Structures are given as C-alpha cells and as structure tokens.
Structure 1
Amino acid sequence: MDFIAEHIPIYGDLHKNVIKYLINDQDLIDCLAIDNWIVGSSLFVYTFAQEKKKKQLPVKDLLEVVCFLLLNIYSVIDGNSVVYNVDETDTPATYIGTISNSTNLKDLAGKDDFGNLKYTFLGTDSQILSLFKIDERTSRLETKGILDRESVCEFTKICSLSLDIAVQSTRTSFFLKIPVKINVNDLNDNAPVFDKPNITLSLSEASLVGTKVTIDGARDRDTSDTYSLQTYQVSPANTPFSIEFEKKLDGTSIVRLKVEKTLDRETKSSYQLEIVAKDGGSPPQSGTLFANIIITDVNDNPPNFEKPQYDITVKEDVNISSVIGTIKAVDLDEGDNGRVTYRLSSHQSDTILNLFSIDHLTGELRVSKKLSYAPGKKYQIIIEASDTADQPLTSQTRVIVVVEDVGNSAPVIVVNLLSGSNVAHITEYANKGTAVAHIAVHDDDTGDNGNVYCTMMSDYFELMLLGNKEYNVVVKQKLDREQIPNHRVSISCQDNGKPPFNVSSEFNIEIDDENDSPPKFSSIQYTETIFEGNKKGDVIVQVFAIDSDQGKNAEIYYFLDNEGSKIFSVDSTTGVVRAGIELDREQTPTITTKIFAIDQGTPSMTGTADIVVKILDLNDNSPKFEKEVFPMEVFENKESGIEIGQLFAQDLDEGDNAKIVFNLPKGTPIDLPFLVLPHGQITTNKVLDRETQPSYGFYVIAYDLGYPPRTSTASVVVTVKDMNDHRPEIKGPNYANNTFSISQSSKAGRIITTVVAYDKDKDENSDLVFSILNTAAYFSIDPKSGAIFLEKDIDVSPGTTFSLEIEVSDKGVYPQKSFMTLTVVIGTGEQTAASNTTNMVIVIVLVSLTIVASTIIIAVIIFLRRVDRNAKATKSKSDYYSGGHVIDPSVTVFSLPDDSILCSDKKKKKEVSFSIDDDQDHIDALQLPSKTNHPFDKMFVDKDKRQGDDSHSIGSTSDSGRGNSDDETSRSPHSTGNRTQHKGKQGKHSGNSDSLFSPRKISHSQPLLYSPSKMNEQHGSRQLKYHTDNPRNIFHFDQQENGPVIDCVTSFDQKWNMCSLCYDLYEELNTYYSVVGLPQIDVLYTEQKNNGELS
C-alpha cells in the first residue's frame, strides 16, 4: 500500500480515485504525545491519501499507520525548519537572514508564483514578535530594536526564540508555514557585580577547619555557560580561608568562605580579604568584594522548599492584595537557625517586584498591582527563603504565574526615560523637538478594546507619535531652569472599549543647569566706613553674591582687583573683606575698589561690584603752622585794635579735628600789647610806641577741636615801624645862656663848637640835618655832624657878638625841626671876649658856676654808683647767676655775633641776651657826638640791621630766663677780689659798633618771654644788662642823671688783653666825654682767678 502525503488547505476538495482522511490538530497532538514528541500544534492540516482498493483498512489500523507515517513526515518538515544564530545586540535593524534564501520555496511554490509570495508572522507571542520584523516582499528578517539576551531569556543557559512565518501567494492558493528558530548568542557584556562593595563578618575562633560561612555572591547577568560567573578567588593567598561557590538560577551564586586553618583570635583578630568573582570571558570581567573578617568566639542547613517550582494560574481581574499561593520551605536547624523568612529576590525585574509581594513569615504570595493578560505571557518569580541565624543560609525557588484573560483590560503605559534614571533630565539648552522620554502603550485586547490614543497637557513638552502605540516626549519651547527647575508631566491614555479604560502616568523632568547666569551681588556698591589707624585684619564689610544656577555653576569665589588686593584681603568663600594694612585718611580719604564673584562653571561667569571705603578721621595730626616764625610790622601810634597780621596753619585731619583755633599760650604776660583772635588775626590792644619798644617776640599756639585736642606753636616777631613823632632834641653845646666866646685870633676852618642833637625816631626820621638860618659871613655848619666852622679869620674887634639861629631838622616825609640860638662873643687871645667888663664878669661867673655844679654832680653820681654797685653784688648772684634761677621774669631775646667779632682771639660762637629795665627817659640824658645818638641805639631802632632777627623766637639758647651756671656765678662782675684802677687805652674806635649786634638765627627750645621796660626804683634810671652763655663778656651800663657809669667784666686769655667789647665801650664813652669836656674815664675791672684765668 502506497501512501502519498501532501500539504493541502484545510477541508480540501476530494479528488478522483483518492480517499482523503482529515486529521485535525487535536488528533495530531494526541498522536504525537503518544510517541513522546514535544507538545506542539500546527496550523496546517495534514491529509494522507490511500490508493483505492477493494478492501479498505479499518479506521483504527489506519490511524496507527498515520501516526507512524506522521512521525517521518514531521521530521522531514522539522528538518526543513530555518535556524538562525545571532549575537545579542544593542543596534536596531540588525540583519538576521532572508527566509526565501534559506528554504526551497522556489521549488515548492514554483518559479511563476515565487515572485508573488508574501511573508508575515504567525503566532500570538507579542513579546517575541516585538523583537523582530520581516519584509513582506523580500522576506528579509531583522531585529526591531535592541536584542538583549539577558532581558528575553533571563536565567536560561540557552536562548532560543521560535516563531512561525506564513508564506502565502497573492495570486494562487499556495500557503506554507515555515518554523524559524533564532538562537541568541550571549556576549560578555556584563561583569559580575556584588550587591555591596564591602562586608564585615564575625567568625568564632572556635570554628573548626572546614567551617563555611555563606556570603552573598556576585551576580552576572550573562547566563551562558561561557560568559556566566565561573570562578572566585580570594587574596591575599596566605590567609586561612578559601572560597567555594555554586550558581543559582537568577545568575547569582552562593559563596561560602571556608576555614582552611585553625583560627586564633589572639594571634590575628581580623583579616581583610578581596573576593574576586570572574566570568568566562577572554579576558574575563570581574567584580570585587572587600571582606573584613572579625574573628570572634555555626548554621549548616539551608531552608529546603517543598517544590523546586511552583505553577500558579490567576485571572487578570484578581483583586490587589489577594493571596495567589503559599510558598513553604523547611529548615532542619533549630532556633534562629531554623526559623525561615521569605522574600522576593532583588535580582529580578522591577515589574516582578512591583506586581507581587510575599509575607516574610508565612510565605503567602500576593498581588500588589493589577495584572494584565497577554497571550502566552508568564511571570517568573524567584523567591528566597533564609534562616535567621547570624550567618543566614538561603535557598531559592521559581514560581511561574500565568494570567488568564477575562475581558477588556486597561492599557499599560511604559515610560522609558532617555536619561537612564528614575527622573528624566534634559539640559536647559535643549532645542525644540529634543526627546526626553519614550512612551510605549500596551493593550493586549483586540479590536476597539486594543485601540489606544494618548494625550499630554504641558506648556513646555508635547507628545510626538512614532508609530502604533509609541510616542516620544519632546521639548515644545525653550527651557529655563532658573525660572522652572523641574516639570511634572502627566500622560493619559484611553482605549476605545465600552466602557473605555483610561490610564495615566506621571514622571518628573528635571532641567539640568547650564552656566547661563553670572553671579549677582546683593548690592552694586558696598559703602562702608572705618576709622583710620585700624589694625590689620579688621573687618571692613562682608559682600554676598548669589548665582541662580546650581551645582558647580553656583559655587562662588570672591577676589579683589589688583589695586584693592594691595590694601584689602577677602575670604574667597565667605566674602568677608578685611583691612590688609593700616589705613591713613590723610593719604587716602576714600578707597574705591572692585570685587569680583566668579562661579565654577565651564566657562565661568563673573559678577562685579564696587566697594567704597570711607576712612573716618582720627585726630592724629597736629596743626602745622605755615611758618615757624611769622614776621609782622605795625606803625607806632596807631589806634588800638588794628589787625597787624594773619596766622596760617593747616591740619590734615577733617571735621572738628581740622578746625583750628589760635590763641596765646598759657604763661604769656598779661601786658602783651597784642591779641590773637581765634581765626588767627593778630591785633593790637593798645597804642604802640616804637621808641619805648621797637620789636616784640611772643609765642602763639594753634589747637584743633578734636578730642583730645592737638597743638603746635610758632613764634611771632612784630617790628614796630617808626612814625616821625619826635622832634630832634638838641643836647649841646651846653653853654650858659647859649653864649660862648672865641679868640679874636681864631683862623678860618677851625671848629669852634659842635651842635649835638638826638632824634628818638629811626632811619630817615632820625637822620638829622644841621643848618644856620640867619646869614653869618663868618660861620658855617656841617649839615651832617653839626660842627660849626669859622668861614674866615676874625677881623672884628673883641667884644663883637654874633647870634646864630641854628635849625636841626630830620629827614622824615613831614620833617620835625628844633631850633636854638647860639651867641658867639669875640674875645682876645684864648680869653672870652666881652664888649664891656660887666659882660665879661657875667660870662666868667656863669662858666665857673657851671664847672662847679658839674663837678659836684659827677662826684655824687660816682659815689652813688659805687654804693649801688656794692648793694647789688649779692642780688646779682641770686637773680642773674645762681643756677636754676631766672635772670629776669621778662626777657626779650636777641643774639650777639660770634666771638670772632666780639673778641678777636675767640672763635667759639656766642649767644647773648639782654633785658631792658626801666622806661625810655634815660636816652634824654645821653649826649653823644652822633646824629643818631650813640652806638647802643642801633640795637633797638635799626630795622635794616634787624632783618631776619630770630632773637625773639622760642628756645633761644641764650641765658635769658634761666639760672646761670657755676662758671657764670664765679665770674660775676661783683665778685670779691682786689680792685685797682688802670688808665684805659686812648684811641679812636676802630670798628663799626653796629656790627656788635648783628642778628643771628637761634634755636627754639626755650620759651620766649616778652620784657616790658621797668623803672629802676633805686636810681630812677634805665639799665642795659648784657651777658653771654658764659661770663666771658659781660658789662652793665647805667645811664644815670649825671652821666653814664659802665661796669665791664671780661675774661682774658692773656693778662691785660682786654676783650674788644669792653674796650669798644670804653673808647666810645671816652669819645663822648671828650666832646662834652668831661675828664677821661678809666676802665674798672675786677681781677679774679678762676681755673687759671685772669679776669
């Protein structure tokens, strides 16, 4: 009997002479099951034809034959299945193969119909079909997306995916199902990973060799024999431990740390191990666990599940929290070592962990979220059972959950965040259309129940349709993190079922910062104040800047500009600005600098602000006078209260510290004829008389209004300018009745007498001109000296008289004049001539009386002078020469020239001071043969000779106002000793007496005192007292009523070598005495031995 097998459509037509037996799929399944074939189903109906005979086989026998033949026929078909091998890949559209090239379709379909074939997938396993795509015309088979072996074949060693491809002609009835197997080859794309990088274990030192401690091993998602976890190593190698392990279903492994040697805690209390897990790659990938083994002073049975695998079927509408099964494990240990707890393995998909939960004590498996049906979809759950020992042992089992469909199910939204984390991230620089997330919607229902559309409401994001039930969430408009840092996006999806199911899903989108905002200071200008004289490090101000960016882009550091960093310092993180130096307001009252805030972004951005520091004043500067000495001038006789000058001083401080008030210092004599006004004006407070005092020197003080106030001093020298307020005073000649006689034999050219006059004014106002007003043929007068000459010989008879009208005039602008009349009597010989005996007698009597009176007066003066001198000897020592006593309570300071002028044999510079006691009337009694009185007057009235005279200034090094030294006391002009008189040397004064008192600059270390004139109570006369720093040149000059008395004391380097000062005075006075017809005077000196010197 011959059988013919052919592929025909289901319920094909009967053919002539052929008996066809229709065997449905169930029969085929049963037949195959009898022969232990794999369970499967076919979309084809296999028909077997038997040739028509007289006798047909019984049906039972026929089925047995069919089953036998089917076995062979199916093997042929399976042998014609297409098998492809492909590596797992992360590249979509990876080519797998072309079906038409891998089969003999051209022979089966025929050449004419081969080009009209259409290729489509058959089956309902959407998970597998979602991985691949086929070209309907070319039969090119490709991957649709990423093909990750570990995702599609989790926990399996061999990954083989089966699918059926329908081949159908578009013109004929040709149809063929081609089974395709795709073997996904594993790549070593996952390294072993430990759950924790570090563990700490405690192990009793009594642990026996061979004791094992279980630790959580590494997991390798690669599950193929080649690339899965292969070995463990422990280092260092010299530890008393080794590693044993066994793989588990979920890719993890049970690792046991085995004790290889006896442990001794006292020898070593801990071990630090590196446990390295390696896979089978070349080179292998590895993961490392750092174990800290603490040896202290054991659980050898893991829990055992009742079943190696649990199969559970549940309807998709099962309620949440419903118990769908109970898992049971038994641990043969006791106590905590035998108490079992349950948990879901953490090394499985989040879907499993979210959909299911297990009671850790009872093992009840519950549904945590609503389940959805999918054809052929199964849930594989790995459940762990652990004991509660200190070192727990763990076992695993597999639970297969099959969900049964009960009707329309809700769509499921699957959100894939492209940032790879639980929160979507996108830069604020992202352009419009940039994708943020991928949305896939799954609805396993059919028809309208499976048609789903999605919407999203957002101002900044929108959905972009990619294909059936797939979307991308893309940027809709420009983003700004500083305005809105994160967005909450909600997606709603609804099917078209009745009633429709609506589901939604939300996720956060965080806008990643870009460094697009510079730091901004809290103020564009910080203005602060600080007192000058601060300490280095004092806080000036704290600046603060904010950056609306975040992270590194908002980390701010502060720094100053180059100039500012020389003066200040800034804390780069806190913004505290401190003084780097001591500040001085007078140098820089205000300091402006820039401070910068820079963020740490790339590239960085900078903010800028100004710091203005105003230095507050401290009273650290004293007023400073414009000059050390203020020379001023004022005319005598001016009314009181006139301003004579202005003081100028400057204080570098400010405010009250710089306001200056002028005054006279304490101790200034109350009779000073000047006032110092607060603003520095100097005025007179009485009428001045130059002839009484030609100049004044005094201190002024300037003080500021700070607290405490600061002061400085200067000196003022006021020169009283002369007014022509005195007439010339005619002092001589002194004849009775202004009558004198000359010899008849007198010859022309002879000086018969000299008119002596004195003017208390100075300069032109004291420059005198002599003239004879009436005409006199016999007489003339020298206009300068006042000497009256005979113009011609006398040729008149004795007794003739001439009356001469003498005029003495000064040279002032408005000259002052004085007059006198001299009567000249012509006598015989050297006798006074008279025209008659009566006149002669009168003249003789007058002359005699004059001589007698003069002699008496001179004798009285000399007697009184000597008495006075002796009386003053003791007083002089205490008042003028005793150490530590003031010479006189009021002194005007002047300076004398060097010894080279005063004493020709002395080179050392001298300082001289003098005091003026008594009033001005003494000058009236002094008659010298000079139109400007006598040489001492130059010291007081000659302005030109006094220019630059600093003798009134502060701190003269002269002896004015101080106690005399011992040396001075020992050389007092009144010291006791032998006194003798020696005739003074006659001769003419050879030098200019004015030069004796040339002004010199002196120091300012001692107070300046003003000395008004005082009356000498004993004599009613004026005294001039001169002395130097040491008593080498000292003289006293008394102008008394009856003539001068000079007491000169000097020192000698050699005996009889008189100092020129005393000698000049002596000579000058003798000249005067010769003019007035008085006897010549002797020099009175004191011979005193002191330190070998003779004075």
Structure 2
Amino acid sequence: MLIDCKGNFSMHCYTWLSFALALVQQWTYLPCVYSSNANDLEQISRTSLREKHGWVQNPMVVHEEQVLTHPLQFNQQQSNLDKQKTSQKNVLSNNELQFLNGPYEATIPEMSAEGTSVIQVTASDQTGARLFYSILQGQPYFSVERTTGVIRTSSPMDRETIDQYFVVIQAQDMIGQIGGRSATTTVTINLSDVNDNPPHFLHRRYHMNISEAAPIGTIVGKILAEDSDIGDNTAMNYEIEGHASHIFYIITNNKTQEGIVILKESVDYENRSRYDIRVKGINRHIDERFLQDGPFEDTVNLKISVDDADESPVFTSKKYAMEISEGAAVGSFVGAVSARDPDDANSPIRYSIVPGSHLNRWFHINAHNGTIIVTKPLDREVAPQHHLIITATESMNPKQISNVNVSIQVVDVNEYAPELSKYYEIYVCENAMFGQLIQTISAVDKDSPMEHHRFSFSMDEATTNSSSFAVKDNQNNTAEILTKRNGFYRQEQSVFTFPILIADNGNPPLASTSTLTVLVCDCDTEVNIKFCRYGTLGISVEAFVAVVACTLIILVFVLAILAFRQQRKKSLFHEKGEEFRENIVNYDDEGGGEQDTEAFDIPTLRNHSVLREHKPRRNITTQIQSLYRQSLQVGPESAIFREFISQKLEEANSDPDVPPYDSLQTYAFEGAGSVAGSLSSLGSSSLDVDTDYDDFVQ
C-alpha cells in the first residue's frame, strides 16, 4: 500500500494512515494466529480447505509528528506461499540520532546556587522527531531539563574538594517503545575559583634577628599566610599593628605572596633589644557573600631580636650650621660638634678636620671637645661660606669612625650706611594736586649680601610738618615722593629741598641723610623735563644754545691768538737756516778783550771734564724757579739774585744730558760795575726789541 501525503502530515493524512494500519492488522490476523504451527496449517489446507496464500508482515515503525518532504513507503506485505520472491520494503529512515556538538565542556564558579544554568546540549536525527533528555551520570550535583537539554546545578559544589565533574546525558526519540532510538554524550564541567577561603598562617609565631648596625632598608625576614584559593583570590596584604610600624614595615611578594619584613628605622641594642609584633594577613579581593562566616584575615605573632654590634660614633646632629663675623679675631670661637660611642664600652671620641681641603687652614678643631676656632682672618668677599667635614673616631677602636658636615657662614659686618642709588632730578608741575606721585627713589648699601638688605625711608618730624612733600615707604627698598599741597608757584619759589633719612637692618643698624631737590616746572599735565632743566635759568632753550655757541667761538679765537704769540716769540732766537753755537762762561778776570789770548787757556775752557765736575744730580728745578721769581723784584746786588745765578750754574754743570758745547744759558741780569761790559753778542742787540727772557729760563 502506498500513501502519498504530499509531504505534510495533516489531520486528514493522519486519519488515513490509522485506517490503513487497522486494515493491515485485520488481514494479517489469521496468518499470525496460525503461523505458530506451519505443519498444522499445511495439513488443514490439504485436507479441509482450499489452498489459500497468506501475508507475512515485517515490524513497522512510524514516528509521530514526523515531517516528510516526499512520499514514504513504510511497509510491504509478502505472501507466505511465495518461496522464490523475497522482495520486501523496510521502513525508510534518515541518518541516525546523534548530538550535534558533543562532547561538551563548561565552566561555572564554585559554590554556585542551586538551579544555575551550566550548558545546553542538543541532539538531532534530522527527521524532526521530538527528543527527550535524561542524565545518566552526574547526580546529585547536576540535572537536565527533559525537553530542552539545559543542564543545571542541583547543589553547591566546593572547588577545593572537587574541581571537575563528568556528566553523561542521553537523548531518546520513542521512550519505552519498540524501535526507539537513543544517543549519549559527555559534558566536562569545571569549577572556577571564588574567594571563599580566608588566609591562614603556617605558623602561629615567627622569630627573626636584626643587627643594630644594619642599615635602613635591610630585610629582616619573611612570613607567609596560605590560602586554599587560587589566582587573584590568593593576593595578600600584610599589616604591622601598633607602634612597631614606625620601626619596621612589610611588603608583599606578588609572585609568592610572602610578606617581607624590612627595617624602617635604625635600632639600638642598648635602648631596646626585642620587639614583639603582631602581623595581620588580609585578602585583597574579598567576596562579601562569605563575610558572614567571619573576617577574611589571620593574625600571627612576630618576635624580632636586636643583636649587639660595635657601632661607629654618633653625632648629636646630622649636620651643623655655624656663623662667624668676618671681623672676628684669630682664635675666636666658631662652634662645637659632639659625638658619642653608642656601645656600652663608651669609648672616648677624638675629632679632626678631614685633610686635603684648603679650608682647614682657616679653622682648627680641638681633638678632645670638638670646639672650632678661627686660625686666619676671614674675608666675606673672598669666601662667604666654608664647608668642613669633621671626623669622629673611637679611641679604643680607630676603625670605628663617623663623618659630619659643618657649614660655616661668614656674616658680613655692617660697615656702610645706605644711600640713594643715584642722583635724582625731581620735578613738579605748578598745577600738581595733593597726594600726586612725582618720583620713586631707591637705595643701595655697599655691604653684602644685597638680597638681605632692608631699607627704610623717612623724614624727621620737623621736616614732615613744614615740607610741601611727603615720603611713603613701599616696604620693598623703594619709596615714593608725594605732594602735600595743591599747586606750586614757580615765580614765588622754584626750588624746594628737604632731607630724607635712609636706614638699614644691619647689626648694628646704620643710617644716612640725603637731600632731595625738587624743581617747579611750568607745565600743563605732564612734567617737561627739558623745559624744567633750562627754564629755571630764565632763558629759553634756543637762547641757551646760542650763548654756548658764542662762548665756544670766543674760546677758539683766544687759543689762536695765544698760539700765534708763542710762535712769534720763538722766532727771535731761531730762524730757518741759522743755528746758534755760543757758550757763555762766567769768570772773575775779564781780560783784555777779544784780542787778549793770554788771559785764559782756550783748550782748557773747552775741556768738558774740567768745566764740569761729576756731582750727583739734584732736583732743584722747583727751587730755581722760586728764586727766579724773587730775583725779578730785586737788583743784581741782592743775595737772592746771587743765589739764583749760583743755582743756575750748578744745574748746568751737573746736568749729564746737556751737550758740552752747544748750550745756551740765559740770565735775567748780567751784572753791573764792569768797565769792559758784556762779552755776549746778546748785549749788542737793538734796545727797541721787546725780548721776553722769561721764556728761556730753564
């Protein structure tokens, strides 16, 4: 029988199929009844009945709600007398039942609540049959929804106990019926860790040792708090409780989660030899769901013993700062350093300045008490500050030494009073108003350092009351000059002066008084400095320039006349192309004139060695000039005149730079009472020549 439902099982098609099944069962009823004894049937057919063929039907399977896309031949009957033909049609079925993506694997957090979805499994036979799922392995921790294949948790699970589960799921298409098919798959379920376990120290007490000579930063020891969790849930922080946190601190090794105890401050065996500390280990990542079971932390006792060591001397200060005045005398006290032996031995300390520095030449330290004194005068301008390194050494163990830095500041002596930084030209307009700023002034001090100077500006009480101006101190080493009245009249008073007091902050403080001058200007709104400078003279700027120009012209003219006169005087004794060679000799015997050659020996007179004796040269020019000025007022018989002549001759004879023959000595007077008269050719000159002999006196 062939039924074509055109690919769709409607209600009509389903009814026909049921009817066909019933009909087949009726047709096959008798053969099925008698098939149990074939011999009996054969005997009956031979004896009492007409031989009739029977139908043989194979088992038939039809899936309900099966969706077909083409006609399906689901059964074929066969006659029992057909011995030769064995052709039959079995039930047609698509590929077998199987899970699509098996085997499966999933991960869920441990301690998940009951009913938490884990994963969904899906099976198919590609026929569209309805499948049912069941769990074969994995109870009581997991369950599966019968129709959807969703696996869910049935109870909380602890990863620290079991961290992986294997679940077996079965899918069936005809549950409890003959011909039904099934398939199975496995699901591996892993449990991820949650922070559900607090830390726990391996030991209830730790013991460590540290030497008192250990430097800051030394590792004292390590501790460890275990955690059953894994990954980030084991991350740990450690805390030191109490006052000991100032002496020690603890950090975490992020790889091993160990707590590393480190020395934070130096320890002293003589002061304290043991520290009892409580250390707390706390998880960094805490799941609040489990806080109800108690705090996620653990505490342990830590005992740290301090070992005694031979320590270096310890100064009372880490560094020293001292001051000394630059005017301090040699031997003056600068300051003192002090160190002690921290050990019980209490060894005496010896002090010294580290050699190799030129600065130790200015200072000396007492080896026994550490006092520092000055050994040379100090000059702040040369070295305003000195830096020394002082060494402290134990007498009983010279290997134990310590150093300290000493800074010595040379304090400047307040030697100079402050003064105005420059000369100020101060001007005020006639129409100036009350309180108007006309000048800002500043002061300087030759003492150093300049950056520490503080100057104050003021006027005495009497000046303040009578002055038309006021001084306002700006508190920054400057001051403002302000007017104290409205308007000034230049014709009435064009210049104002008033004293100003400037004081410094030195020790002791010094002060000086300066006078400020204010000129009144005829201006509109702003001061015209050029007009103020020259307007007070009563002339305009153009007139002043003309006066200066005329003065320069007159000066040039006078200088030209003087130069011409000087040139004229020189021409009386020297003309171009003519030379004078004449020696004037003074002697007592005037002789018989030019014809007398026996009165004296000419070669002898020409002998330089005879005429001039070698005498030490004296600086008598000033004396000769003084005598000359006096001789002009007396006659030739005067003692002053004679002294002048003698000095003049002595100068000529003792001058080694004057040529022996070509020389000219000029005298203001040639003497009187001689019958023969003068032998000099100068005496024969014309009397009307006005010769000024003053220019030729050496």
TM-score scaled to structure 2, two decimals?
A: 0.32
Higher RCO (CA-CA < 8 Å; seq separation 6+): 2
